[in-house]
Amino acid sequence: MKRSVLFIVLFCVTTCFQGFAQQTTKERIPLKHGAHRIGKRTDAEMQHWRDYGLGQFIHWGVYAIPGGQWNGKTSTYAAEWFRSSGLITKEEYDNLYKQFDPTSFDAKQWARQAKQMGVKYMIFTTKHHDGFCMWPSKYTDYTIADTPYKNDIVKEIVDAYSAEGIDVYLYFSIIDWSHPGYTTGRSITAKDRKNWENYNPFENEEQKQKYEEFKTFTRNQLMELLTNYPRTKGLWFDGSWDGAWMKEAVWVDELGKELRTMHPGLIIGSRFRADELGARHIDSNGDLIDDYDQRFERNLPSTLAETGGNDWDCVMTIPENQWGYHRDWSLSYVKTAYDLIEMMVKANSLDGNFVINFGPDGKGNIRPEETKIAQEIGDWMTVNKDAVCGVHHSILEKQEWGYSTQKGDNIYLSVFNKPMNNQVRVKVPKSKNNDMIFVIEKAEFLSDKKNVIIKDGGRDKSGSYYYDIAIPEDIQKQNIPFVILIKLKEVNKGEKASYQQALT
Ligand code: JFZ
């Protein structure tokens, strides 16, 4: 009898709750070509991607020849957009490839430098918006094979980086100013977005027909890249914001499936396609399209909530808004190695990878400023890479001194704001059990394994506990960001005092 009453009560509660849940959850729009998965991929390839921590981006193409300057004039435009800068005629730009002869290019040297820097993956521009192909594509005459250099640069890159154990991803621009069938499509108005089904990107029938050729060409090139470079791990798409491409949701989705079938494990970023309602990158239900969120310099997240629980990486320039080689770096603030290291660890602490861009010159040299940064980051990574690679966000909350990451039981505190009193005050999480408390069981500085003094740092009004870790003198003097590895242990509150004594 009692049992059945309980049953009825439980039944009522659950049905009420379900009704409530249904009322409060926003109704999902049925989409055929939105995200095909909610949440993260769980396969080994993607886990491997997640563990990279640091990547390198390389923007290299014929735009490296002018390097942002022409006839004595300097463009403030992004150097890789030089064709649109107004300083060069289209005809002049489209003939630059005849001079492309990077005699100093040494892929092995680039790969060695990247390895020394601590890079685990790299993204290479196979074709930027100008349409120039860094591989000998058989579908156009505007390629590396038609330059004095002739050699297949994509192959040289894939081989050299793979040999160093660095995974290669291919950047591919959907925008292609060199193809006669390419069109941006009629610009999209707010009205078009509401009435997407009727949005017509084309001005006339001929343009529509020609765009079909462009689609075939794009598909052919992508198949060609995956066929020629089977070691490629993934594709990084750019320039997919054109109305004509966005309107092709069904076709592009099919193409993505085809690419995945021919290349199992392939990783595709979120900037490849739109859904059938014209939502690009994040679909109309708010779900991330494809495998990871491709973030940019200007939208590095600040909280875990902002990442939406998605896998993500963030590509970052060294000067402001310059990806390709620009001769003049005095036009904007140039980030230092430590600016970049801090952004990297911030990204890692929020479950993201950080990708630093390099723009080699027209002869194939990596500029000295970039080499210096690569060396400084490499020196830091040699000591501290455990805080960057194979980690995720930690159980500690964000604290003033910097960022924390975690791998298993190891918690890495990366300190960027060194306290004036040379004590790092660490707030430990609260135990779920009221009688228990977290203590720092072990602490070591990655650059100096001795001499760790931990003191009780007291308790705040909310009942959180603190510990002070003294910064050894040699590390104080180095005056660069440093990492402390700690291990926490849950002990009975009574045990805390004796525990802390034992440590000091
Ligand atoms: C694009 C390109 O136009 C640019 O030349 C470079 O290759 C870069 C990596 O990608 O530029 C963008 C595109 C999107 C954003 C920023 C730069 N964004 O969404 O912040």
Condensed to tens digits (0 to 9), the pLDDT of residues 463-484 reads 899 999 999 999 999 999 999 9
**Residues contacting ligand 1 via CB (< 6 Å):** 78, 80-81, 238, 296, 298, 315, 323
Q: What is residue 373's predicted lDDT score, i.e. its pLDDT?
A: 98
Are residues 485 and 443 in contact, defined by beta-carbon separation less than 8 angstroms?
yes
Counting residues of the chain whose pLDDT is more than 90, the rounded percentage is 89
The band of 451, judged by pLDDT with boundaries at 50, 70 and 90, is low
Atom of ligand 1 nearest to the CA of 299: 20
Centre of ligand 1 to C-alpha 3, Å, is 63
CA distance 154 to 144: 10
Q: How far is the CA of 265 from the centre of ligand 1 (A)?
A: 26
User: Using an 8 Å Cβ cutoff, are 318 and 324 in contact?
Assistant: no
What's the CA dihedral at 233, 238, 244, 246 to 10 degrees?
A: 70
Residue that the structure tokens 């291990």 belong to: 487
* Span 410-439, pLDDT tens digits: 999 999 999 999 999 999 999 999 899 999
- Three-class secondary structure of residue 237 per DSSP: strand
Residue 19 falls in which region: left (phi positive, over 0), alpha (psi -120 to 50) or beta: alpha
Q: Per-residue pLDDT averaged across 56-67, rounded?
A: 98
CB 281 within 8 A of CB 289: yes
Distance between Cα 206 and ligand 1 center (Å)? 30
CA distance 289 to 450: 48
Specify the ligand 1 atom closest to the Cα of 57. Answer: 9
Say how many Å lie between the CA of residue 9 and the centre of ligand 1. 57
Is residue 216 within a helix (H) or strand (E), and if so which, with residue range?
helix 205-228
Q: What's the pLDDT score for residue 463?
A: 86
The confidence score (pLDDT) of residue 13 equals: 44
pLDDT per residue as tens digits for the range 251-263: 999 999 999 999 9
Predicted confidence band at 39 (pLDDT cuts at 50, 70, 90)? very high
C-alpha 53 – ligand 1 centre gap (Å):
21
Segment 226-245 mean pLDDT: 97
Q: pLDDT value at position 449?
A: 72
Ligand 1 atom 8, closest CA = 323
CATH topology of domain 44-387: TIM Barrel (3.20.20)
Residue located nearest, by CA, to atom 14 of ligand 1:
296
CA 84 to ligand 1 centroid distance, Å: 15
How far apart, in whole angstroms, are the C-alpha atoms of residue 387 and residue 48? 16
| Interatomic CA distance for residues 427 and 399, integer angstroms | 8
Taking the CA atoms of 212, 214, 219 and 224 in sequence, report the sign of the dihedral they define.
Answer: positive
pTM over 0.75: yes
Distances (CA, A) of 221 to 152, 167, 233, 367, 438: 15, 21, 16, 31, 56
The per-residue pLDDT for 498 is: 57
- 494 pLDDT band, cuts 50/70/90, is confident
**C-alpha count within 13 angstroms, C-beta hemisphere, residue 181:** 15
pLDDT at 497: 61
Q: Provide the β-strand partners of residue 294.
A: 313
Residue nearest to atom 10 of ligand 1 (CA): 238
Ligand 1 atom 19, closest CA: 296
Architecture of the domain delimited by 394-503:
Sandwich (2.60)
> Would you say residue 22 has pLDDT above 60?
no
User: Could you tell me the pLDDT band of residue 20, with boundaries at 50, 70 and 90?
Assistant: very low
Q: Which atom of ligand 1 is nearest to the CA of 80?
A: 5
The pLDDT value recorded for residue 230 is: 98
Domain ranges of the chain: 44-387, 394-503
**What is the CA(285)–ligand 1 centre distance, in A?**
24
Q: Select from 323, 325, 355, 356 the residue to mutate for testing ligand 1; criterion: most ligand atoms less than 8 Å from CB.
A: 323
Rg (CA), the chain: 27
* 193 pLDDT more than 50: yes
Nearest residue to 428 via CA among 396, 392, 399: 396
Per-residue pLDDT, averaged over 203-232, amounts to 98
Strands 465-470 and 423-427: antiparallel
Region of poorest pLDDT, from 41-55, 377-391, 456-470: 456-470
Residue of minimum CA distance from atom 18 in ligand 1: 296
Q: For the residues 487-499, what does the mean pLDDT come to? A: 81
* 193 alpha carbon – ligand 1 mean position (Å): 22
Model confidence at 453, pLDDT cuts 50, 70, 90, reads: confident
Measured by CA distance, the residue closest to atom 20 of ligand 1 is 296
Q: Which atom of ligand 1 is nearest to the CA of 128?
A: 7
Ligand 1 centroid – CA 422 distance (Å): 41
Report the separation in Å between the CA atom of 472 and the middle of ligand 1, taken as the mean of its atom positions.
43
What are the CA-CA distances from residue 285 to residues 33, 36, 162, 270, 279 (Å)?
11, 12, 38, 15, 9
Question: In this predicted structure, what is the pLDDT of residue 49?
Answer: 98
Mean pLDDT, residues 339-367 taken together: 98
Residues comprising the chain, all counted: 504
Q: What's the CA-to-centroid distance between 57 and ligand 1, angstroms?
A: 12
- Contact between 170 and 229 under an 8 Å Cβ cutoff? The reply is yes
Q: Mutation test of ligand 1: which of 130, 177, 238 has the most ligand atoms closer than 8 Å to its C-beta?
A: 238
- Mean pLDDT (the chain) is 93
